[in-house]
Structure 1
Amino acid sequence: MKLPWMSRTDRRRWKSAKTVADLGELMALWLEGQIASRPGYQPRYGPDDETTHLVPTLATLCRAGYVTTCSQPGFAGTGTDGLWWEQRAALELVVTDPTLFHRLVNAAYAAGMFVRINDHRPDGGVREQPVVVTTRDGEPVTAFGGRISRADMAIQWPELNRDLCRQVSTGTYVSVIAPEYGPDGDRLWITLDLLTGRRQNDPADPWSSSTQPTGPRSR
């Protein structure tokens, strides 16, 4: 499957990835703006503006063996549509290394985060229910953690070589979600930075995002 309008150079780079580490490096480069397009995402678009301050955390995760697929910061306030929006800080990723998986899940639980696991091994595995992460005037808008169908999986990972596509399509998909709505939940990113070693100490000042969403957010 070819992404429309993905440049030949970008398509060649993604196709050349052989390992999950290769894939993580390419995803990090896309997050950092060094690659214009990524599989399963609008061609020639980078991460949403609201996630700009999360890029260092996300890129570090990708280079540590976790391939991030979607994220959003915490937010609570009036959107540009005039309605009240609330977001939980949340992250979705795929991991194929059992040791890395356990480190992530243990760190997330220790920090009091919600964790949802969907194991896509051919012989079955854990399948957990999603968690609402965004509301608009109190009504659910988006959720993280739902099981990905085969059809959606094929759309998410076009352009990869067959062996690598099989690895990530049968990997473990983990959603880590702050229980709080709003900026207080951005402690999630500190937890992840401590996991990867990007931060050595928990800073006193909380993270915050000033970008106001206008609708459902994904990355």
Structure 2
Amino acid sequence: MSRADSRRWRAARTPADLGDLMALWLEGGLGSRPGYEPHWGPDDETTALIPTLAALCRAGYITTCSQPGLTGTGANGRWWEQRAAVTGLVTDEALLARLLRSAADTGMNTCVNQLRRRGGRQGQPIVVTTCDGQPVTAFGGRIRRADLAPEWAGTHPRLFAQIATGTYLTIAAPAYGTTGQNLWRTIQGTLRPRPCSTSG
């Protein structure tokens, strides 16, 4: 990534700072983000989700991967199905509890994964994409420190220490296709404005 972008990520000290930068990258204000191809923005299929994803990041659910609910014939002529789904980092326990409660109340699937020195919760991955009925992509699943290091390469050690003790939460619609798009309304309903943060 560019030196200017690298300095921005290195300057972040708190999860709130991290969320602000991830939102900025989603919106096109930064050219690169850690753990992603340099000088690339979100995939085209994510375009319609950017306002929601940016709001989630700024509220404390720092999204790292997401997709809309879709079904249809792919470029290879085969039948593809996607669940609306998102995964990301949460360090605020109150927000985590609200997200999990809202997901349970609306029948969403969840997977919670935590990295802890003495062992944390390690949920099972959720299949979110199939091709001709066969699993292709899953979100969530066991995480290790070795997985987090490349994903957040270039962040300050003080921030990485907070990342490593946070929770990775996956939320996925129960159904494939556009009917699962209500996932985004479900998540947005849990968000509350947070105070502005300052780095230091």
Instruction: Write out per-residue CA displacement over residues 97-148 of structure 1, whole angstroms, 9 at most, x where no aligned residue.
Output: 1111101111111111001001112222211111111001111101011112
| C-alpha distance in 1 between matches for 2:50 and 2:192 | 15
Instruction: Write out per-residue CA displacement over residues 157-212 of structure 1, whole angstroms, 9 at most, x where no aligned residue.
Output: 101000101111221110001000001111101111222269xxxxxxxxxxxxxx
1:51 aligned onto 2:32: no
| Deviating 4+ runs (over 6 angstroms) | none
User: Residue 93 of structure 1 aligns with which residue?
Assistant: 88
SS in 2 for 1:70: strand
Q: TM-score, normalised by structure 1?
A: 0.86
SS in 2 for 1:127: coil
User: Residue 194 of structure 1 aligns with which residue?
Assistant: 189
Gap runs ≥5 in structure 2: 194-200
| C-alpha distance in 2 between matches for 1:103 and 1:195 | 6
- Answer yes or no: is the 8 Å Cα contact 2:122–2:142 preserved in 1: yes
RMSD, matched Cα: 1.2
SS in 2 for 1:29: helix
Note closer, same or farther for the CA distance 1:163–1:197 as it changes in structure 2 (3 Å cut): closer
Counting matched residue pairs gives 193
Note closer, same or farther for the CA distance 1:197–1:163 as it changes in structure 2 (3 Å cut): closer
Instruction: Write out per-residue CA displacement over residues 12-37 of structure 1, whole angstroms, 9 at most, x where no aligned residue.
Output: 00000011000000000000000000
User: Residue 171 of structure 2 aligns with which residue?
Assistant: 176
Of 106, 111, 122, 1:111 maps to 106
User: Residue 202 of structure 1 aligns with which residue?
Assistant: none
User: Residue 121 of structure 2 aligns with which residue?
Assistant: 126
Q: TM-score, normalised by structure 2?
A: 0.94
- Answer yes or no: is the 8 Å Cα contact 2:59–2:192 preserved in 1: no
